[in-house]
Amino acid sequence: MKKIFAFLLYSFTIFSQQLPYKNPNLSIEERVRDLLSRLTLKEKIELLGGTGFATKPIERLGIPELRMTDGPVGVRWGESTAFPVSIAMAATWDPSLIYSLGTALGRETKGKARHVILGPCVNIARIPMGGRNFESFGEDPFLASRMAVNYIKGVQSEGVAATVKHFAVNNQEHERTYIDVLVSLRALNEIYLPAFKAAVTEADVLCVMSAYNKVNNHFASENEYLLQTKLKDEWNFKGLVMSDWGAVHSVVPTLKGGLDLEMPYGTFLNYDNVIKALEKNIINLSTIDKKVERILTIIVKLGLLDTAEWKENSMLINSDENQKIAYEVSKASIVLLKNKDSILPINEEKVKKIAVIGPAAKIARTGGGGSSLVAAINPVSPYDGLKNKIDPKILLEFAEGVQLDGDAKSISSDFLFADNELKLHGLVGEYYSNKTLSGKPVLSRIDKEINFWWHGESPSKEINEDNFSIRWSGYLVPKISGQYEISIATDDGIRLYVDDKLLIDDWFDRGVSSSNVKLLLEKNKPYKIKIEYYENAGDAVCVLGWNTPGENIMESAIEIAKRSELVILFVGTSYNIETEGRDRDNLLLPNDQVELINKIARVNKNVVVVLNTGSPVLMNDWIDNVPVVLQMWFGGSQGGNAIADVLLGNYNPSGKLPITFPRLWEDCSAFGTYKSFPSRTYYSDDIYVGYRHFDKSEIEPLFPFGFGLSYTSFEYNDVSLETNNEEYTLTFFIKNTGQMDGFETPQLYVGKKFSKIDRPVRELKSFSKVFLKTGETKKVVLSVPKKNLAYFDIKTDSWLIEEGVYEFMVGASSRDIKFKKEVIVN
């Protein structure tokens, strides 16, 4: 009997080894073809819908699930390294550095045993209030392309699939799930698609995610022009096309439109729906096979059939190497916008006391809100960064000054009671495995405080990771009388009742954001309180906080500023304010921060304002009152250390703006059409987005695209231009004429003179980041292929090069042009 069993086992082993799809020596195409032939129709269809953050495994054939994770700036699967946000990556103007960041993301993705990271986001920052601008690489398609290509190559060098998103023209959060973006084919191809094209044709990205919105009357997830004509036919994309989470709206149009995988679940692309379409001959089996082929191809390419199941590896998470990369990117992204009288860098020998003030000073604001927000490991705040690096003889005094929405202190259990006898601290929590608080709770418990950050995890083993709801009830007893501001920060819906009165009713899907209400409360009086919360998908956050009466934190900050020689004022926004799910209401610094800046500027002339934001803010009301302004973005885990080194002169700031900072919202290209029509938006600015618009309209921005100061100075000399009819090459020399080593980023713009076609004044076509020691001169060579001078002609649906005179311009920004050269293109 033992011999028979051994023979059967041996035969099965030999047979398994001979299965072509398990043979790593065969080509990917051969293995996928064989594997596809072994799938049943039911198994094929089941692969078209996800299981949350994965594809469905086919255990019969040993096909593993393809596991995914958010997001573009760090792995959102438990705690990990938070890297600087994407707009900060673009502000480095250093593609090689972003390649390194991509490798770190790849390692951390593997460390979490995930196969696919859902990034990068390459949507153009068209609207300065856009809720996800911080996730983008800015306003220029060429710069975005260079960042995307290197990010993707870095991720995929670690054997992890990158996902370029959101395809396409997903440029606003307002009405994002259904808005119809009406855009010309020229603007689409010249402005909004180049970064996607580069991701496919240059970086060989493995996955593409379609957007929520419609594009020219058709949802992006069923848009034949985008997914089939451009992506698969013209660009020859061979990878996997997935939907954004919940972005599918149909069965047949989606199947025909080019989408391969519906996420997070097969709500439309499930067995019952798809089999009906097949039986009615509305679609054919080959359509299904092509989609399944693409899913299987990624599984085979990643080696998931050839290795043991990936296991979590904590050694790959937040390693010293990854922390260093996060620090280097954050440091290189910081943009010096103003430095009157050379107040920076700080002269530690002349300063004895520094006031460190602001709502972003002692909080590490690592990123914006929504699906990209990372649960950062040991993030460093600006205050801690300064304390770590500054001469210990210098006294640092801190004051918050103002508080941002969502930053309110969580209400301690000392003030919360679960029973009317006020003996049991906390609130009664009833947990439901649905979003509607219906049926019986699957879990009841007393929660001491409502201060929960579950992120993508479940509140308890009895509860789903997504699609759950909670009702908390009990009593709130204040200890002093006065006006309180109660704040509830949540991801998704929230209701607050006090004494059975509904005071907050924000019962809708949203990124992490704060809802507030002011109440007059009496000392020691019990107030009946009820909180209802639901979570749909993605992040899961609920924090109940308050500001108590009698606090005047602004006056405390002003007093500290008066007695200090230097003030460093950290202001900005937060993940509650810049977030997925909604756009900002305006471009102003929120929560009385302008008042704080101006009041402090009146009592201290040496004020350094550091902006901790993910996109532009207006500065007209305060910038003339302060001598120094820095843009540090959302700097990731190491942002505090990075800004400290720039302030202290340990690093010479080298960041350049990847987005124009306007003086007014009215000056921006989208002003006339944004929110002008319900459920649709017209891109009447066409190709004139960002600096292209400011140049065409001759509007002076506050700070132009490509702008960034340094602690040193640079001189440009001896330019020459050569051509071989296929490429144009500018050669020149840059000298560091100042007193500090540093980087300069010369930028090459091209404009067509006397054009018969409506064309921008100038467009970025090349750049290089150059390090120069004090007094050093370096030769710089910038090249532009002739094909990159083309424009998209909608009549012929092709790229055409217009003959005539072109002007090649090299500058330190789009408005600081150092020299020009003309060339005739035939």
**How far from 421 is each of 289, 424, 475, 477, 526, CA to CA, in Å?**
65, 8, 10, 12, 10
Contacts of 795 (CB under 8 A, 6+ apart): none
Q: How many CB atoms are located within 10 Å of the residue 477 CB?
A: 18
Annotated active-site residue in 94, 244, 447, 492: 244
Pull the structure tokens for residue 212: 């929520």
DSSP, collapsed to helix, strand or coil, labels residue 419 as coil
The Cα–Cα gap between 694 and 671 comes to 13
* CA nearest neighbour of 409 among 543, 522, 540: 543
User: Edge-to-edge strand order for the sheet containing 727-736?
Assistant: 714-723, 727-736, 777-785
Token pair recorded at residue 825 = 């293109």
Task: For the chain, state the CA radius of gyration.
Answer: 28
- In SS3 terms, 553-585 reads as HHHHHHHHHHCCCEEEEEEECCCCCCECCECCC
70 belongs to the catalytic site? no
Please list the residues that pair with 117 across neighbouring strands: 69, 162
Amino acid symbol at 346 = I
With 0-12 / 13-18 / 19 or more C-beta atoms within 10 angstroms meaning exposed / middle / buried, residue 603 is: middle
Tokens of 521: 């409360």
Contact 622, 598 (CB under 8 A): yes
Q: Helix, strand or coil for residue 709?
A: strand
Which token pair is 703?
Answer: 């700070």
- The Cα–Cα gap between 337 and 608 comes to 11
Look at residues 221, 182, 233 and name the one whose alpha carbon lies nearest to residue 49: 221
CA distance 324 to 326: 5
Place of tokens 């108590």: 548
Give the list of residues 6+ apart from residue 275 with CB closer than 8 angstroms, or none: 41, 45
First to last CA, the chain: 84
Query: CA 820 from chain center: how many Å?
Result: 36
The DSSP secondary structure of 724-785, one letter per residue, reads -SSEEEEEEEEEE-SSS-EEE--EEEEEETT-SS---S-EEEEE--EEE-TT-EEEEEEEEE
Rounded (5°) CA angle 93-622-673: 65
Q: What is the DSSP letter of 641?
A: H
Distance CA 234, CA 322 (A): 37
Q: Compute CA distances 651 → 65, 566, 569, 644, 768, whole Å.
A: 45, 20, 20, 9, 19
Torsion region of 706: left, alpha or beta (phi above 0 gives left; psi -120 to 50 gives alpha) = left
In this structure, what DSSP letter does residue 131 have?
T
Coil vs helix vs strand at 515: strand
Q: What is the DSSP letter of 716?
A: E
- Which residues are marked as active site? 244
